[in-house]
Structure 1
């Protein structure tokens, strides 16, 4: 029997089982709800490269668990505490932990990051990561789907709340890695610095070599101002497998013998 058969049989009518990364990670998602995109993969790789090599990790706004699963399995970081606000999304996160046999490596937590001071021990994590809602609450049309709306717009938290939660959770000298739209670069660097989370590494993401940046990745250190280093630009699309550039393709290729048909990240 195909080892995926029990997983597929357990899916709801509005759910899909999708593959991501090189370590065979599978994620349960709503077919019509918010779905992970490439930013999650790029954030996990960036955080693993820039962050602490050892010590507990916290993901703020974990969703279905993509970043947490990648950090634990593909990049061998952890243990990972995965904090998610929405109960229905948290339930899929819990299922994902079991599907990927990550019990003991990823711990799903249900709660609001704005209440980090009561939910999380102070200074308990060496690395914090977040792929937060990108759009301000007042920007654009709100999605009629509540799950999608909360995931895409700052309805339940804003950048200041994400930074404050990271500050609380980080051990002295620990680091936080974030991904945001390029247009919010000055704002986010300002929020981090005001909280004494000093930007250490910055990387701009471009769809193609000739295109302007659309996203940025930033890593900041708690209470350590060691100067900002700007990394080489990350180019998403190229002539590699799947139409990706070589660096992104190396993060996305499934293990030998595993079909990539289920990989459905939005770009």
Structure 2
């Protein structure tokens, strides 16, 4: 029998392949960033077919999208928080991913304790965005760890990716637009050379809110800046046509 959501959980569906995840009602909940990151990672990888690693997997939505919607993987999904990891393990069964998504419980700051170095073709992460000392910390620990850099910061994410990647392997990240100079600098210092950059805007004419970056270990191919990704528009659900195509199966398929 498939796992059922507990009394404090919701069962949510996302994407065109019917990916399902278990989330705490009052805890951190995934956002559109997860879908945009999975699509970006699948689109921008060049020759990085092979095993993937998700750092800070949370509910597993990025890992499940990578394997079920985009046909990539297998993926090792590293998550720090035991309760979140337990939900991730149940969601592996829900999505029929037992052979393709492997949940790992552990701290990416101690990456060497959990995985062997240099074995991954591609690393992805939708990491905590907010600097640890910026704003009011959430009183909910799960939400605080997922949103603020209390348990991992950008240098830790970059260092873990560098360790895990094979030479020529790629890393795909999503961060707030205001942190673009910092993150590109950290990647370059680690000899993870940025090759693709794409800014995310809520609407045409609005300032960027996020950026997606793809970088290669020890391989500098120059940086391509893609056209802006616009989230909202005249497409289904109020999304732009590009985002709407990632969110729901075509009506003909769902009948």
TM-score range, shorter chain: over 0.9
Pairwise CA distance, 1:70: 0.2
Which of residues 25, 29, 45 in structure 1 aligns to 2:19?
A: 25
Residue of 30, 40, 44 corresponding to 1:50:
44
Give TM-score scaled by structure 2 length: 0.97
Is 2:179 the counterpart of 1:184? Answer: yes
Structure-1 separation of matches of 2:183 and 2:198: 14
Calculate the aligned-residue CA RMSD, in Å: 1.3
Match of 2:218 among 223, 237, 254: 223
User: 2:207 — aligned with what?
Assistant: 212
1-structure distance, mates of 2:192, 2:87: 32
Residue in 2 that maps onto 1:41: 35
Hey, what's the Cα distance between the residues in 2 that align with 1:230 and 1:7? 43
Give the whole-Å Cα distance in 2 for the aligned partners of 1:48 and 1:129: 10
Give the conservation status (yes or no) of the 8 Å contact 1:133–1:153. Answer: yes
Write the distance in 2 (CA, Å) between the matches of 1:120 and 1:107.
Answer: 12
Tell me the SS of whatever aligns to 2:170.
Answer: strand
Partner of 2:137: 142
Match of 1:114 in 2: 109
- Distance in 1 between residues matched to 2:156 and 2:8, nearest whole Å: 31
Q: 1:161 aligns with which of 148, 156, 165?
A: 156
Runs of 4+ in 1 over 2 A off after TM superposition: 254-259
State the distance in 2 between where 1:211 and 1:80 align: 35
1:62-141 aligned at under 5 Å gives the runs 62-141=57-136
Change (3 A) 1:72 1:226: same
- Give aligned pairs, total: 253
Say if 2:177 and 2:199, in contact at 8 Å, map to a contact too: yes
Q: Is the 8 A contact 1:23 1:255 kept in 2?
A: no
TM-superposed CA distance for 1:50, in Å, is: 1.1
Contact 2:108 2:160 in 1 (8 A): yes
Aligned counterpart for 1:14 among listed residues 1, 5, 8: 8
Post-superposition shift, 1:118? 2.1
Counterpart among 177, 189, 192 of residue 194 in structure 1:
189
Q: Is the 8 A contact 2:48 2:169 kept in 1?
A: no
Show the counterpart of 1:249. 244
How far the C-alpha of 1:12 sits from its partner, in A, is 1.1
Q: Is the 8 A contact 1:53 1:77 kept in 2?
A: no
In the alignment, structure 1 segments of 5+ residues that lack a partner are: 1-5, 260-267
Higher relative contact order (CA 8 A, sep 6+): 1
Structure 2 unmatched ranges of 5 or more: none
Encode CA deviations 1:154-181: one digit per residue, 9 max, x unaligned. Answer: 0001000000000000000000000000
d(CA) in 2 for partners of 1:28, 1:152: 18
